[in-house]
Amino acid sequence: MSDVSPLPISKEIEEKDVVVIRFCGDSGDGMQITGSRFTQATASVGNDLATLPDFPAEIRAPAGSLAGVSGYQIQFSSREIRTPGDAPDVLVAMNPAAFKTNLADLKKGGILIVNSDAFNEENLKLAGYAQNPLDTEIVKDYDLYKFPITTFTTHALETSPLIKKDKERCKNFFALGLMYWLYQRPFEPTLEWIDKQFSKKVDVANANKMALKAGYYFGETTEAFKKSFRVAKAQLNPGTYRNITGNEATAIGFITAAQLASKNLTYATYPITPASDILHELSKHKNFGIKTIQAEDEIAAIGVAIGASFAGDIGLTGTSGPGVALKSEALSLALMMELPLVLIDVQRGGPSTGLPTKTEQADLLQALYGRHGEAPVAVVAPATAGDCFHMAIEAVRIATEFMTPVIYLSDGYLANSAEPWVIPDYDKIPKIKIEHPSNPEGFKAYQRNEKLARPWAIPGVKGLEHRLGGLEKQDVTGNISYDPKNHEHMSHVRANKIKGIAKYLPPLEVFGKNEGDVLVIGWGGTHGSITSAVDELQKEGMSISSVHLRYLNPIQNDLYGLIENFETIIVPEINLGQLVKVLRAETLRDIKAINKIQGKPFKVEELKEAIKKFAAENAAKNKKLA
Amino acid sequence: MGAENDIKPLTKKSFESDQDIRWCPGCGDYSILAFVQRVLPEMGIPKEKYVFVSGIGCSSRFPYYMNTYGLHTIHGRAPTVATGIKAANPDLQVWVVTGDGDALSIGGNHFIHALRRNVDIKILLFNNKIYGLTKGQYSPTSEFGKKTKSTPYGSVDYPLDPISLALGSEASFVARTADNTPKHLTEVLRRAAHHKGSAFVEIFQNCIIFNDGAFDPITGKEVRDDNTLLLEHGKPLLFGKDKKKGIRIKGFDPEVVTVGENGVTEADLVVHNENNPNPAYAFLLSRFNLPQFPVPMGVFRQSERYTYDGLLNDQVDTALSMGKGDIKKLIHGPSTWTVE
């Protein structure tokens, strides 16, 4: 077999503008690999894309069970897109459980490809089917393709020395190959990847490669498909691109921040979904002066980061919501000691263990207020997977410039979703300037500069010996003080320091005009859905703009002026209404909320509908008043 | 350390801060503070290299009284902060000052993990068998049945032994001393200061307000000779006013014998070996308690093991020596494409 994807012969090719594909199967079926390889191949042909991996919390729920279904959705297009798509055009279902849990999402008339081998008595029973659904009315609205993918795969691997069970495990690559043919993607990048991935298991590598090609050639040969599809290259902004997930961008962003600051970085953490990938990534990069510590618990992790920061490293800790709760006492200590520290919170469905692998934005109030006492810290939130890189640098910049803990709010969607990302020019990113005092003359541990930041004096420097602690400090000296007036003064100083950061933030970027009927305010991982919805509504003629807050404490001051220029203000969030509470309190405006809390991102359509409803209500009210 | 030439030698006074000491008059903490300040100048290490870290409790005010770098952190978490300091800068001398409540109750988890990792820190546990700062509740080392403010009918909590716990946590240096035996305290502090790795020292400390005299039956002047067993490396386990009583081991069980009686000679006694590769020996000693056995004082165990902070930094140094990372390459990642 040749190692180059052949040009399709004889069959018709239909041009498509945008396609959404979802792969789903058992968590043991390799759906995440299938999806991420399809993503890589799609990136390489120059489509714009966005992905949504969706997997269960159970590592291996019983094979074939509904609980064990794992999915991966990708939207790719010849124009700019910002979300993984509302509903799939194509559903690849590897077993009855995946079929059952995903079918309802497939567009009517959509392509439905199933592995018919997996629709056996046992799997049907596990999925709760009394009879094979492929033989029922349920599939009549779809363009159904029943292929015995497992059988095809084992036949294709007849010459492979692998045992039957291992051959069958290659079926996801057969399905992937088939999809490569159907959407005219090259299989070379995947062949290379397989060689690298299975370099120590040559037989497995060869089998996977054979299965991939067999799937591709099957698509070309079979009479079942009358045509294949092509999605032209997108007209993306010029630049060099890579594919990146939020967790990758977060890790690389913090390494870059440490480099920009000419500092070592100590990352202390306790494994937790969906933040653990950041630990895995950072632990590979010791040659950038990165130290990673897997602590005994969440509290220890932030304690280590505080100690590292006191001693002069960039102290970083990372977790998800439950971990933030455990770290909150220590976070207060860091803010009382006024040490730079960044706490990454990759939010997931809560409370308690909640939905560990699903996304949510419900830790905002915890980040802003979830501590004892008057305890302000800076809070930032990346807007897209690629933006995680930039906001990581911002977090370190704020922490070190203002001598404060910073909470960095990512979420499960950003963490795992991938997007093409314009690689920034490192040389153009401003350096992070850090000064450690060395002159004992007149040194006072709590003497502040114009940003109200105290000096970052580190142990080892002669003459600067000082003590920090959680007890209230006397202004300037930092000595223990129980003076009531001093406590009030220091509480104000700590609050003003955080408020004052706003003066140094970049101006808000408005998507659309600076005035009009409707302003949508978002934050975090909803950027793609909100911007897409607003974009479409603008094109439909609505007077609507949006802003996305990447700084949540403090918020850029220009937001308050901007709000005055719009009649209807709407805040969509993946929670029951948290930012909206804050903005209502700050502005005393009747701000509307769109909320969803299903562990899933917003669909563009559902946002559009909700926005239209609020806009219409407002128009009706105005009419009444007139 | 070239700076040593142009400075006056360090003295006890060099380590005294300008803060008023606020422990109760007569508290055992005063004596421990004084002896730490006396031992450190001997080490020949510049003062600015010392960091004292504490949690919460009476003992945890300690860093404020030391004219070194210091952190007064939160309840139980001092070992974690100390670990972070050493991770960032293994060159610093980091001492953790803690109490029986701080280290063994709320901070139990961090205590055992710092020891098993062998982070190069010294942990001084001031054990007064009571909660002092919260005004007199029982602690994890208080005796079973103890009547306190929170246990008027007697405590039903079974106590744990800090030395046994430290040994079980793989500590590489484990010792015990007392606030009222200045010479012994000095020597043990000195030994701890010289140990590379986690050095754990339990210090019997008298709380004059809430648990006065708790250790009198052990280290009181009148009974000390008979009720304590001074551990000296390479010497037989002998105790008593005239050093005639000793420890012999039969099978798994130790027994107190008298030299010169029933044919017992010094040769029958256990010879103390701090470096015994079998930790069961030190653990056996840690179970000695009155009235059956004298309470051992001194170094139970010392072993050499790589330190966590040393290894952590070695990995980074090795990686750096093989070539500093190229940040642009990292940002670019494994595969890219260009849009014109």
Spatial distance between the Cα atoms of A527 and A590, rounded to a whole number of angstroms? 22
Res B274 pLDDT > 60 = yes
Which of A311, A465, A468 shows the shortest C-beta gap to B92? Answer: A311
CB atoms B89 and A461 under 8 Å: no
| pLDDT at residue B256 is higher than 60 | yes
Integer Cα distance of A129 and A390 in angstroms? 48
Contact B109 A296 (CB under 8 A): yes
Is the pLDDT reported for residue B241 higher than 50?
A: yes
Kindly determine whether residue A268 and residue B330, on different chains, have CB atoms separated by under 8 Å: no
Task: For residue A464, list chain B residues with Cβ-Cβ distance below 8 A.
Answer: 48
Query: How many residues make up chain A in this entry?
Result: 626
Three-state SS string across B206-244, please? CCCCCCCCCCHHHHCCCCHHHHEEEECCCCECEECCCCC
**CA A91 to CA A89: how far, in whole Å?**
7
CA distance A334 to chain B (A): 9
CA distance A186 to A156: 20
Asked if residue A582 has pLDDT above 70, the reply is yes
Does the N-terminal peptide bond of residue A274 adopt cis geometry, omega within 30 degrees of 0? yes
Structure tokens, A327 = 């770290």
Who contacts A18 (Cβ-Cβ below 8 Å, separation ≥6)?
A: A75, A76, A77, A78, A79, A81, A85, A231
Point out the least confidently predicted range of A499-513, A558-572, A582-596, B326-340: B326-340
Name the DSSP letter for residue A354: -
CB nearest to A296's CB, from B113, B325, B328:
B113
**Chain B residues lying within 8 Å of A426, measured CB to CB:** 327-328, 331
Q: What average pLDDT does chain A have?
A: 95
- With a cut of 70, say whether residue A3 has pLDDT above it: no
pLDDT at A57: 79
In tens, the pLDDT along A237-281 reads 899 999 999 999 999 999 999 999 999 999 999 999 999 999 999
Query: Maximum Cα–Cα distance for chain B, whole Å?
Result: 99
Shortest distance between the Cα of B224 and any Cα of chain A, in A, equals: 38
Which of B50, B82, B325 is facing A307, going by the closest CB pair? B82
Dist CA A266 CA A28 (whole Å) = 35
Inter-residue contact A522 to A510 (CB < 8 Å): no
Mean pLDDT confidence for A527-549: 98
User: For the residues B94-120, what does the mean pLDDT come to?
Assistant: 98
- For CA atoms B105, B110, B113, B118, give the dihedral sign: negative
Residue A481 pLDDT more than 80?
A: yes
Question: A304, B333: Cβ pair inside 8 Å?
Answer: no
- For the residues of A147-208, what is the DSSP string, one character each? E-HHHHHHHHTTT--S-HHHHHTTHHHHHHHHHHHHTT--SHHHHHHHHHHTTT-HHHHHHH
Residue B330 to residue A288, Cβ atoms within 8 A:
yes
Distance CA A98, CA A96 (A): 5
Say if CB B16 and CB B59 are below 8 A apart. no
CB contact under 8 A, A241 and B110: no
Say if the Cβ atoms of A310 and B323 lie within 8 Å.
no
End-to-end, the C-alpha distance of chain A in Å comes to 75
Q: Which residues contact B304 (CB under 8 A, 6 or more apart)?
A: B172, B196, B197
Which of A94-108, A224-238, B206-220 is predicted least confidently?
Answer: A224-238
Checking if the pLDDT of A60 tops 60, the result is yes
User: Do the chains contact at B335 and A424, CB–CB below 8 Å?
Assistant: no
Predicted confidence at residue A626, as pLDDT, reads: 75
Task: Look at residues A243, A577, A521, A566 and name the one whose alpha carbon lies nearest to residue A381.
Answer: A521
CB interface of B with A, residues 240-279, below 8 Å = none
Q: Output the CA angle A505-A509-A511, nearest 5 degrees.
A: 165
How far does the CA of residue B318 sit from the closest CA of chain A (Å)?
8
Q: Which residue has the tokens 């000695």?
A: B288
Interface membership of B77 toward A (CB under 8 Å): yes
- Residue of B87, B4, B21 whose CA lies nearest to A314: B87
Question: Tokens 């058992």 — which residue?
Answer: A26
Using pLDDT thresholds of 50, 70 and 90, give the confidence band for residue B1.
very low
Q: Which residue of B has its CA nearest to A266?
A: B88
Residue A59 has pLDDT above 80, yes or no: no
Determine the Cα–Cα distance for residues A91 and A71; give it in Å rounded to an integer. 10
Q: Tell me, what's the pLDDT at A9?
A: 60
Q: How many CB atoms lie within 10 A of CB A37?
A: 26
What is the value of ipTM here, to two decimals?
0.96
Residues of A in contact with B337 (CB under 8 A): 43-44, 46, 240-242
Tokens 């109200």, residue?
Answer: A452
The band of B2, judged by pLDDT with boundaries at 50, 70 and 90, is very low
CB pairs under 8 A between A and B: 217
Least CB–CB distance from B48: residue in A236, A423, A460: A460
Q: Distance between CA B87 and CA A58 in Å, rounded?
A: 34
Radius of gyration over every alpha carbon of chain A, rounded to an integer in angstroms: 27
Residue B301 distance to chain A (closest CA, Å): 25
SS3 (DSSP) at A520: strand
- The stretch A167-195 carries a mean pLDDT of 96
Tokens of A267: 């990352």
Give A29→chain B minimum CA distance, Å.
Answer: 26
Q: Specify whether the CB–CB gap between A67 and A55 falls below 8 A.
A: no
Compute CA distances A581 → A365, A606, B306, B310, whole Å.
Answer: 9, 22, 53, 49
How far is CA B156 from each of CA A81, A522, B287, rounded to the nearest angstrom?
66, 55, 20
Closest residue by Cα to residue B293 from B327, B253, B328: B253
CB contact under 8 A, B339 and A43: no
pLDDT in tens, B17-31: 999 999 999 999 999
Cα–Cα distance measured from residue A472 to residue A475, given in angstroms and rounded to the nearest whole number: 9
The B residues from 16 to 75 touching A (CB cutoff 8 Å) are 17, 19, 46-51, 53, 63-64, 66-74
Compare all CA atoms of chain B with the CA of A300 and give the residue at the minimum distance: B80
pLDDT at A1 over 70: no
Q: Bin B57: left if φ > 0, else alpha if -120 < ψ < 50, else beta.
A: left
Which of A470, A334, A479, A333 shows the shortest CA–CA distance to A402?
A: A334
Mean pLDDT, range B130-151, rounded to an integer: 95
The whole-number average pLDDT for the span A470-497 is: 97
| Euclidean distance between CA atoms A294 and A296, whole angstroms | 7
- How far apart, in whole angstroms, are the C-alpha atoms of residue B270 and residue A130? 76
pLDDT for residue B100 is more than 60: yes
pLDDT reported for residue A237? 87
- Give the pair of three-digit tokens for residue A365: 């109030």
Q: How confident is the model at residue A8 (pLDDT cuts 50, 70, 90)?
A: low
CB contact under 8 A, B312 and A291: yes
A462 contact residues in B (CB cutoff 8 A) = 3, 46-48
DSSP assignment of A192-235 equals: HHHHHHTTT-HHHHHHHHHHHHHHHHHHHH-SS-SEEEEEPPP-
For the entire predicted model, the pTM comes to: 0.94
CB distance A569 to A592 below 8 Å: yes
8-state DSSP, B143: P
Q: What's the token pair of residue B54?
A: 């504490």
For residue range B179-216, list pLDDT tens digits in order: 999 999 999 999 999 999 999 999 999 999 999 999 99
Q: What is the pLDDT of residue B4?
A: 47
Chain B residue closest in CA terms to A41: B335
Question: Can you tell me which residue has the tokens 């759906």?
Answer: A31
Has residue A10 got a pLDDT over 70? no
Q: What single-letter amino acid sits at A473?
A: K
d(CA B76, CA B55) in angstroms, rounded, equals 5
Cα distance between residue A18 and residue A75, in whole Å: 7
B178 part of contact set with chain A, CB < 8 Å: no
Q: Assign A32 a pLDDT band (cuts: 50, 70, 90).
A: very high
pLDDT of residue B3: 47
> Which residue(s) pair with A233 in the sheet?
none
Q: How far apart are CA A175 and CA A178, in angstroms?
A: 5
What would the pLDDT profile of A300-347 be if each residue is shown by its tens digit? Answer: 999 999 999 999 999 999 999 999 999 999 999 999 999 999 999 999
**Contact residues, chain B, for A293 at CB < 8 Å:** 83-84, 87, 312
Taking the C-alpha atoms of residue A551 and residue A554, their distance in angstroms, rounded to an integer, is 6
B6 has pLDDT over 70:
no
**For the range A423-426, what are the long-range contacts, defined as Cβ-Cβ under 8 Å and sequence gap of 24 or more?**
A423/A239, A423/A240, A423/A241, A423/A242, A423/B331, A423/B332, A423/B333, A423/B336, A424/A389, A424/A390, A424/B331, A426/A256, A426/B327, A426/B328, A426/B331
How far is A131 from A123, CA to CA, in rounded Å? 11
Helix, strand, coil % (nearest 5) of chain B?
35, 20, 45
Tell me how close the Cα of B18 comes to any Cα of chain A, in angstroms. Answer: 10
Give the bridge partners for B93, in sequence order. Answer: B50
